[in-house]
Chains A and B, each alone.
Chain A
C-alpha cells in the first residue's frame, strides 16, 4: 500500500511568513509523529498524535509551532512568523499504535526560510 506522503517536498518562504506542512500517514495508523532534522543532525522529536489528540507535544520549540490532526488521519504542522533558524527538513512518521513500535517515515519537507 501507499507509504507516508508529505507535501510540499520543498518550501521556500521569507522570514516572518506563515507556512503549513502536510502529512498523509499510512491508512489505519493511529499514531503520527513530526520530527525536525537540521543538517548533520538526527531527527528531533516535535509532537506525537494518538488519533486526533496530541499525546505529547513536548518537542515543539515554542508557541510559533502548532500541529493539528482533526480527523485522525492527515496532519498539518503550522509555523507562524517563520525565522531563519526554522530552516530544516520536517519529517512525518506514522505507526500502527504506539511510539515504541516501528515508525514509517515520509520523504520530508525541506523548508528554507530566507
Chain B
C-alpha cells in the first residue's frame, strides 16, 4: 500500500513564485526522501531528511519534517519553468525486515513562464 500521500495533486504557478508541496505518511519512518520526475521516466533524487532532522536545505529547495504529525513539505523558492515536473515524497519504512521506499502519487507542478 502507498504510504506517501502528496498534496496538492496538481499545482500551477508563475515563474518566480514559490511552490509548496506537502506529504503525509502513515507509519514510523527511518528517513524521508523527495524525488522529481520529468515526463514519466526516471526519477531524480532531490533531498533526504532523516527522522531526527526537522529541516534541510539544498539550493532553492527546503524540506521540513514533522514526525509527530507524520508530514513533510517541500518548498521550491523562486521557481523556474524548468522546475515543471512531478514531485514525489518517499518515506523509508522497515517492512518485513527490509527497508523500502514507498511512493505516493506525486504532485504535478507546472511553472508558467
Contact = CB atoms under 8 A, between A and B. Distances in A.
Interface of A: 4, 35, 37, 39-45, 48, 55-56, 58-59, 89, 91, 93, 98-108
A108 B41 contact: yes
Given A91-B43, A100-B30, A42 B106 contact: yes
Contacts of A99: 92, 98-101
A84 B33 CA distance: 32
Nearest to B48: A102
A98 B41 contact: no
A1 to B, nearest CB: 16
B103 interface: yes
Contact of B99 (A37, A59, A100): A100
B40 interface: yes
Nearest to B30: A100
Interface of B: 2, 4, 30-31, 33, 35, 40-45, 48, 88, 90, 92, 95-106
A48 B98 contact: yes
A99 B98 CA distance: 8
A105 B100 contact: no
Contacts of A48: 98, 100
B100 A43 contact: no
Contacts of B88: 42-43
A89 B100 CA distance: 19
Contact of A42 (B31, B92, B100, B104): B104
A98 to B, nearest CB: 6
A56 B30 CA distance: 17
Contact of A58 (B48, B92, B95): B95
Nearest to A58: B96
Contacts of A40: 105
A45 B41 contact: no
Contacts of B92: 99-100
Nearest to B35: A105
A102 B31 CA distance: 11
